[in-house]
Amino acid sequence: MLDRAHALILCIFLLVCAYTVRVQHYRHTQTKKLNSETTVNTQDALNHKFFGQALCGALLITSSLAISQAIAQDYPSKPVTLVVSYPPGGSNDLTARAIAPALGEALGATIVIENKPGAAGMISGTYVSRAAPDGYMILLGSLSPIIVSPQAAKNPPFNTPVDFRAINRVGSTPLGIAMGPTLPNVKTIADLIAVSKTRDVTLSSAGTGGVSHLTIELLQAASKGRLVHVPYKGAGPAVTDTVAGHVDGIVMDISPLMPMMADGRLKGIAVTSAERMSFVPDLAPVGEYLPGFSAVNWLGLFVPVKTPEPIVAKINTAIIKTIARSDVRTKLEAAGIMPSSMENPAAFQAYVNAEYTRWGKILQDAKIEKQD
């Protein structure tokens, strides 16, 4: 049985065929008249031609709108894939698993989570940007892989403002600043900056050019302290060396730091947001000591840029309903994510574009060499 979209396409095809036959018949008649008459009514012929062009244009516009609406009415008719930029266990993956059941319920489809790590998170972005723009492939994007990584690469595989439609934000999370055993007297961000005025303080991150690295650069510029960035190949080695005392502290997403702060392996001293977070109320924001300082990671949904507007609207309605659910909010907060959606896709798109510009300038100012 034909679905609505295919039925509309068939009807439009038949209309165009009928019109084509009519045009061919008209041309044949005119040719016969030219052979038998000495005068041709040129104005009538032109009028018929212009009428035909206008009809074709109207058919194309109407068919595009009708097909788009029909596809949206049928969407989703099969499982939807939610693509995650990192392996299982991290904050992005935890967020995907927190929202997937409720999002699927709101959309009326099964949500299948697919982890596509690699290339500083850009493999997932490349995968989704080149997918069919039909709403069945959604990217759970975040600040580092979709804003920072493409601008830190020599040959980025996609341009976020050009290749994606932003749907809505899911939530945000600050980075945490935690200390190892080497500086036992550093208990606050004020202590850290005071010590950094007298000696080098080493802070580890999961690698060069990521949000953690750039946050360290921002902190150094704002505090005028001697903060030394020590990049590692991944969060695991960075955490291990910080706990062992090979570096003084670490800056990374708060969620994986929370268990180690709870059991005493690391000592949390601050979050990089402008205000306190309800899930770590004892950690003061850097902004309380350095007014205006904010470096917050966020997560949101993206689809290929040519995805029809009705489908974008449908996914947006579903994610807003999802984020409003108390059970989903509880899961997100447990993972260190503060749930927050925006008014509509246009507002989120404007936010994403502004973030793209802001972090691009931070990369430039930090004079970070672009990565292969």
Sign of the dihedral through C-alpha 127, 161, 231, 91: negative
DSSP code, position 119: G
Contact 145, 115 (CB under 8 A): no
pLDDT given for residue 45 in this prediction:
47
pLDDT given for residue 28 in this prediction:
52
pLDDT given for residue 58 in this prediction:
47
pLDDT given for residue 3 in this prediction:
47
What phi and psi values does residue 182 have, to the nearest 5 degrees? -75, -25
Peptide bond into 101 cis (omega under 30): no
pLDDT given for residue 368 in this prediction:
85
In CATH terms, 174-289 corresponds, of 3.90.1150.10, 3.40.50.300, 3.40.190.10, 3.30.565.10, to 3.40.190.10
Q: Domain 80-171+299-365: which CATH class?
A: alpha beta
pLDDT given for residue 5 in this prediction:
47
pLDDT given for residue 27 in this prediction:
56
pLDDT given for residue 369 in this prediction:
84
Low-confidence ranges of the chain (pLDDT < 50): 1-5, 7-8, 11, 14, 21, 34-35, 37-40, 42, 45-47, 50-51, 54, 58, 64-65
Task: Indicate the residue type of 240.
Answer: T
Q: Tokens at residue 13, please? A: 């095809």
Contact 217, 363 (CB under 8 A): no
pLDDT given for residue 296 in this prediction:
92
Contact 108, 315 (CB under 8 A): no
Report d(CA 285, CA 292) in Å as an integer: 11
Contact 231, 208 (CB under 8 A): yes
pLDDT given for residue 210 in this prediction:
87
